[in-house]
Structure 1
């Protein structure tokens, strides 16, 4: 059967796709977390994270060009290190989605709590989180598909308020708000690493740009440009948001605010500014949560269909919805969401991503020895230096968090081990 020809994505389309795929709930709420940990220096932490993300994203781009099949990190890890590591990375993909969905649910509740104080309480938080996750699970089981209108609304809702905030707020910055650089005037050991892991959450999602590389025009030439251009644009935007937030509120007020951008814009544009940012936060976070609630259980059912989870998880109802995976995912997401605040879950979510990022960077080094270079679509800038730097910095970041946070973030790797033997995945032959 002939496939319908689809016009490949040009460089500008890729840039827009990448930017909208990265900018989400994190930047609306995370500026205060960075300021709490390291003060005004959080601006430089964002630059550090941007450089790390660029190096990891280029490794993803390089790994993707060795394969025609989809699979992403699971495929790279399996090809480079065998079935067990591939299974671990594939299994943890579901865990990453579960944690991310819980984080978005709590982000929505945090934003709602800034408007209605009851929802800022622990009881209010649990009520909203429960209603959201259970409600979306019921809608999912009923077979209601994700609407393009929701996706388009999310894109506009998260970009327009932030652009206006920077464009208007930059004229209300007070220079004396940028001193001292560190809280209390002194650097606290370990605060840079903690801030870097927390703010890294705002950059997650860049891997989506590499996944669709097969649909772009001349990936050999344009993919590195799209990756670098996307991260550069997002980084500049994030740094401007952080500068404007601190510049308007001051470091103490920015650190104390649960919704710093909203509070900062309220000082500049009054009720209109506050309403615009709060509406944008709710629409953006809510839309992303809806998309996540749709994709997360399907990630679990895909594992079952590939023999990586018990087959019952892949069962579908008359509406073709994977109802077992939906229910199982909803229960796990609820437990995670009930357990922490947005900033703590954002850090855990960021930590979990490294279970995909580090194996992919390592795989690039392996492929340099095991695969012919001409198979790849483009040459990695600076060769092996990029993946080495990405691996070393990523491992260093993981050493900056507590053992409990590390266990929460990478716990899915431990959970996966018994399933590897229960499902007989070790018997799979290449």
Structure 2
């Protein structure tokens, strides 16, 4: 791929922001307040610290490898072929499910201003159309995806930045007074809130997946991860604080807190603009998913765990077979209508990538491997990251854990089928 078509640091950062910031940021304040009230600010800080710990591990791992795959490559190099495949398979599956959720999420959000989008037929038509348009856009070349991604990312951030900068002048200090006491927030409720809100931070690990399409990945991936996570963390905390300051206890009953808070100080027109921002946000994640999900399949195919034809590239150096395959599977998930439950399970399943990556850092250090970035105080960072992740899983619903492990079982079966086929 020519240098002009590769992603530079700015584009990588915008891709990362797009992969993280989505509908969760617009719904986050209300969801958090329902669980732990004003203490939700503390929950966000907690999650931000955990994500930064995880991001540090991904940053060091990302600086060691240039090849596509991200967590899959890290796990394979550290723990062997089978563990690597399991992580890679889960990564691809999670990205397909998440993309399907966002594709169907667009007409779901659209129905507030276009009631016709509420019907099942129209919802499916809109969702499949989005998938097809993005697939065509990807096949024509990364540069087109990059330009649209950058524009959409900046566009969806405008209403959120506006909400913070203007909303801060309408904060009422009294709204912070009825804060739930520390005694009222148990470890269980705090953990449940942290696990739910953590969903709004997921996606940072996707930055390292398409390394071969990035300019100077050993240097840019670690730097981009740290910049993106730090920026998004501050962003979330500010939005939560402004929403509480404007809506107070009313925040717990709000289904669209950012839009409702905006309407309170600027009226219905401003609320409509924020709703439009929600649609742009969903569209942005669709674009990021359409670029990243096919690259996960390519990484698996490169090592023989998916058919070799999946790696085929066109004249634009785009893995078009993988784009078509991934888009087709995503379309099927959209049509089944079961993606919502699977998307919830993906929150737990993502730790199948996070924990192995953290542990892999210790293996790489023992081997003396050095990249463009090294974690300071590596042992405390890894122990805290893995321990806190395990604690969050402990606070998860048992059904989600079972289905998450079920995904690993499916991956294991697929792995041995492919190995048997190769021997034949």
* TM-score category of the 2 structures, normalised to the smaller one: 0.7 to 0.9
State whether structure 2 residue 138 is matched by structure 1 residue 134: no
| Aligned residue number for residue 350 of structure 1 | 347
Structure-to-structure mapping, 1:178-327, within 5 angstroms: 178-182=176-180, 186-210=184-208, 215=215, 219=219, 227-251=225-249, 253-293=250-290, 295-297=292-294, 299-300=296-297, 303-304=300-301, 306-309=303-306, 320-322=320-322, 323-327=324-328
Give distance in 2, aligned partners of 1:148 and 1:225: 19
1:324-360 Cα offsets, whole Å, 9 max, x none, are: 54323321344365544xxx94x53332221111110
RMSD of aligned C-alpha atoms? 3.7
Give distance in 2, aligned partners of 1:113 and 1:306: 43
Give distance in 2, aligned partners of 1:217 and 1:101: 25
Call closer, same or farther: CA 1:381–1:237 in 2, change over 3 Å.
same
Of stretches 380-389 and 301-310 in structure 1, the one that deviates more from structure 2 is 301-310
Paired residues of 2:149 and 2:287 also in contact (CA < 8 A): no
| Aligned residue number for residue 74 of structure 1 | 72
Q: TM-score, structure 2 length as denominator?
A: 0.83
Give distance in 2, aligned partners of 1:125 and 1:395: 40
Equivalent residue for 2:402, pick from 407, 413, 423: 407
Paired residues of 1:83 and 1:426 also in contact (CA < 8 A): no
Call closer, same or farther: CA 1:328–1:70 in 2, change over 3 Å.
closer
Give distance in 2, aligned partners of 1:118 and 1:260: 24
Structure-to-structure mapping, 1:46-61, within 5 angstroms: 46-61=44-59
* CA shift for structure 1 position 312: 8.4
Structure-to-structure mapping, 1:375-386, within 5 angstroms: 375-386=370-381
Q: TM-score, structure 1 length as denominator?
A: 0.82
Paired residues of 1:174 and 1:248 also in contact (CA < 8 A): yes
Question: Which structure 1 segments of 5+ residues have no match?
Answer: none
| Aligned residue number for residue 329 of structure 1 | 330
Question: Which structure 2 segments of 5+ residues have no match?
Answer: none
* CA shift for structure 1 position 404: 1.4
Give distance in 2, aligned partners of 1:303 and 1:107: 28
Call closer, same or farther: CA 1:302–1:215 in 2, change over 3 Å.
closer
Counterpart secondary structure, 1:190: helix
* CA shift for structure 1 position 307: 3.1
Counterpart secondary structure, 1:230: helix
Q: Between Structure 1 and Structure 2, how many residues are aligned? A: 413
| Aligned residue number for residue 394 of structure 1 | 389
Of stretches 64-73 and 352-361 in structure 1, the one that deviates more from structure 2 is 64-73
State whether structure 2 residue 91 is matched by structure 1 residue 93: yes
Paired residues of 2:124 and 2:334 also in contact (CA < 8 A): no
* CA shift for structure 1 position 26: 1.9
Call closer, same or farther: CA 1:148–1:128 in 2, change over 3 Å.
farther
State whether structure 2 residue 368 is matched by structure 1 residue 372: yes
Give distance in 2, aligned partners of 1:81 and 1:218: 21
Counterpart secondary structure, 1:67: coil
* CA shift for structure 1 position 381: 1.0
* CA shift for structure 1 position 101: 1.3
Counterpart secondary structure, 1:250: helix
Of stretches 272-281 and 62-71 in structure 1, the one that deviates more from structure 2 is 62-71
* CA shift for structure 1 position 161: 0.5
Give distance in 2, aligned partners of 1:67 and 1:270: 50
Give distance in 2, aligned partners of 1:336 and 1:312: 30
Paired residues of 2:188 and 2:395 also in contact (CA < 8 A): yes
Call closer, same or farther: CA 1:426–1:290 in 2, change over 3 Å.
same
* CA shift for structure 1 position 300: 4.0
* CA shift for structure 1 position 151: 1.5
Give distance in 2, aligned partners of 1:412 and 1:192: 27
